[in-house]
């Protein structure tokens, strides 16, 4: 297969919703790359390793690492792509500093899975970067550097805690899971359960549970709850729905259960989150 080289700008960030990649072949960059999947699912090939990437997963791709995106199902996905060169952050590096924020690209895993709270935190940083990129206000370049450093430090601190809970490399696509994921993404407001999905997709509950975890890095319940709570956060901030209305809209039929799951993932109650207060 043809191998392509793409010369990168010092800093570039984009958020796109698409079904076809503009770089479907094996390629590499002269820059560090962070790819974050907002929604959907993809397969990513990085230096001979294959990863099944789902919503809430972040990829770290080192300089000159050969990689390729494959969208097997042709479904729509949304991703953030961030490329930067080390020179972009040169002002932050000193010879006496022991901490190297770029060392996260040399870790044993290319993949970091994020909880609902972590997804919101990271997406907020990306949104600020994109805003600065579009508005070009005074100090935008410097603020982007600050935001990038914040992101890199956050990821570097997270990696040691996350090493034992990383995604398993996937040697082949799992057809059942590739059908189940889009269904969850589109129908998370329904009363989904492992038993219901097992019957619907003709797979035993135990096999579904095991395969889902092996393929995505998330348990079935963890993935569904992350999708629901992330949507709940958006509704709490951007709608006038009551707390119970939000809970019902995202698939919780019990307000107490919704509150417990929300606080476990976000760290505060839905009401305090709406008021902008974090515990």
Contact 41, 52 (CB under 8 A): yes
Would the CA dihedral through 116, 117, 118, 124 be positive or negative? positive
Asked if 221 and 194 touch (Cβ cutoff 8 Å), the reply is: yes
What 3-state class would DSSP assign to 253?
coil
Q: What pLDDT score was predicted for residue 164?
A: 45
pLDDT of residue 199: 92
In this structure, are residues 26 and 68 in contact, taking their beta carbons and an 8 Å threshold? Answer: yes
Specify the pLDDT at position 168. Answer: 45
Q: Pairing between strand 3-6 and 32-39?
A: unpaired
Domain boundaries, the chain: 3-165, 175-274
Q: Which fold is adopted by the domain 3-165? A: Jelly Rolls (2.60.120)
Contact present, 61 and 35 (Cβ < 8 Å): yes
What does the buried/exposed string (b/e) look like for 29-42 if buried means 16 or more CB atoms within 10 Å of the residue's CB? bebbbbbbbbbbbb
Closest CA to 62 of 32, 18, 29, 24: 32
- How far apart CA 269 and CA 275 sit, in angstroms, is 10
Shared fold status for 3-165 and 175-274: no
End-to-end Cα separation, the chain, in angstroms = 52
Consecutive H or E run containing 242: none
Q: What is the pLDDT of residue 157?
A: 86
| Residues in the chain where the model's pLDDT stays below 50 | 164-165, 167-168, 171
Give the gyration radius of the chain's Cα atoms: 19
Fold of 175-274: Arc Repressor Mutant, subunit A (1.10.10)
């Amino acid at each position: 297969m043809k191998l392509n080289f793409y010369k990168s700008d010092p800093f570039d960030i984009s958020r796109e919703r698409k079904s076809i990649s503009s770089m479907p072949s094996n390629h590499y960059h002269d820059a560090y790359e962070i790819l974050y999947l907002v929604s959907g699912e993809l397969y990513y090939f990085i230096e001979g390793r294959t990863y099944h990437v789902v919503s809430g997963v972040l990829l770290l791709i080192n300089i000159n690492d050969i990689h390729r995106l494959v969208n097997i199902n042709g479904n729509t996905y949304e991703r953030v792509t961030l490329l930067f060169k080390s020179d972009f952050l040169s002002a932050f590096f000193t010879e006496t500093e022991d901490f190297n924020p770029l060392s996260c690209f040399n870790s044993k895993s290319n993949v970091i899975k994020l909880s609902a709270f972590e997804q919101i935190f990271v997406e907020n940083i990306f949104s600020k970067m994109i805003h600065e990129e579009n508005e070009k206000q005074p100090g935008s370049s410097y603020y982007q550097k600050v935001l990038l450093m914040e992101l890199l430090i956050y990821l570097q601190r997270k990696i040691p805690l996350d090493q034992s809970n990383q995604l398993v490399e996937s040697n082949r696509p799992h057809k059942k899971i590739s059908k189940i994921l889009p269904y969850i993404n589109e129908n998370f407001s329904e009363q989904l359960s492992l038993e219901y999905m097992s019957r619907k997709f003709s797979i035993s509950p135990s096999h579904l549970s095991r395969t889902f975890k092996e393929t995505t890095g998330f348990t079935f319940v963890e993935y569904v709850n992350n999708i629901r709570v992330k949507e709940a956060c958006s509704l709490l901030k951007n709608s006038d729905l009551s707390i119970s209305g939000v809970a019902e809209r995202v698939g919780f039929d019990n307000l107490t259960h919704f509150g417990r799951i929300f606080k476990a993932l976000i760290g505060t109650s839905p009401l305090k989150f709406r008021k902008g207060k974090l515990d």
